[in-house]
Amino acid sequence: MSTLTMEELTETTGALVRDVDTERLVDDVHLPDAVAEALETFGVLVFPELNASNDALVRFCRKLGTLIDFSHLPPETAEVMEISFDPSNPNAEYFASNSFWHIDGLLDEIAPKTSILTARVTSETGGETEFASTYDAYDQLSDMEKELFANLRVVHTFEAVQRLTYHDPTPEQLEEWATRAVREHPLVWEHDSGRRSLVLGATASHIVGMDVAKGRALLDDLRDRTTGPGKVCRHSWNEGDTVIWDNTGLVHRVCDFDHTRPRVMHRSTVAGQEKIK
């Protein structure tokens, strides 16, 4: 069994991994299991200045599960997506919403399990990535809240997340957003492992059967408690850093930075296997 030397970053989330280099990333056959186990405990693993090529990262990530195919998006390889605001990147308008707390892929049938992000070009100021545990958020609820929330269901929409960036949408934007999937999820996810987490974030539109404003207020309050003081693991990027996180037990966001200056991140994503229930 492969062991990892880890340094905890906050009380609830994150650990720094210092003893993995690119050679070990590719060659240590026990590393994928050790990483998967550490992710279950820490949620986020930071590999400072790993400086791994996309090829090496993809080879490692394939051992964590099935990688999502981004071949419909430019450029890079099918298993690596470029996150940047470069005008040549046709997805840039959607990445604006990465600055709001979110879980990736809540509008997909099955949300991704693990995200792997590597900094290729860092912004001069800002552009840190923040993480907060939705397992801890559930654990911190009072017993009464746990009971009250047990059967609540939340509708997630593309429009909800886009409205955070585009406050005054054009008819064309509204029309395009309306073509996207709408998903209903329970507020509390009971994972196959037996652990429970909250399902929150920018895609959350309203709570089923609850007055819209009341539901929004509850969702906002839960988000604020999840991401409150002492709960956030903030990573300031150096070029070549790789961060791996458990998308099913965390919310994340990117902090403000100058979108007219380059910031290039490469992401691979391991598909999920478990429906939210």
Q: How far is the CB of 55 from Mn ion (least distance, A)?
A: 23
Q: With binding defined as CB under 6 A, does residue 246 bind ligand OGA?
A: no
**CA distance linking residue 47 with residue 41, whole number of Å:** 16
Q: With binding defined as CB under 6 A, does residue 270 bind ligand OGA?
A: no
Size of the site for Mn ion (CB under 5 A): 1
| Dihedral (Cα; 46, 52, 58, 59), 10-degree rounding | -110
Q: With binding defined as CB under 6 A, does residue 267 bind ligand OGA?
A: yes
Q: With binding defined as CB under 6 A, does residue 57 bind ligand OGA?
A: no
Strands 204-207 and 188-190: unpaired
**CA distance linking residue 241 with residue 236, whole number of Å:** 9
Nearest residue to Mn ion, using CB? 104
**155 residue type, one letter:** V
**CA distance linking residue 34 with residue 232, whole number of Å:** 24
Q: With binding defined as CB under 6 A, does residue 118 bind ligand OGA?
A: no
One of 79, 104, 136, 246 touching ligand OGA (CB under 6 A): 104
Size of the site for ligand OGA (CB under 6 A): 10
C-alpha distances out from residue 99 to 103, 156, 159, 164, 242, Å:
12, 17, 16, 10, 19
Q: Which does 265 bind (CB under 5 to 8 A by kind): Mn ion, ligand OGA, none?
A: ligand OGA
**CA distance linking residue 139 with residue 114, whole number of Å:** 22
**CA distance linking residue 277 with residue 272, whole number of Å:** 13
Q: With binding defined as CB under 6 A, does residue 202 bind ligand OGA?
A: no
Interface characters, 87-106, with Mn ion (x: CB under 5 A): -----------------x--
Cβ proximity of 215 and 207 under 8 Å: yes
Nearest CB to Mn ion, comparing residues 31 and 233:
233
Nearest CB to ligand OGA, comparing residues 15 and 117:
117
One of 129, 133, 226, 242 touching ligand OGA (CB under 6 A): 129
Residues that bind ligand OGA (CB under 6 A): 83, 98, 104, 115, 117, 129, 252, 254, 265, 267
Residues that bind Mn ion (CB under 5 A): 104
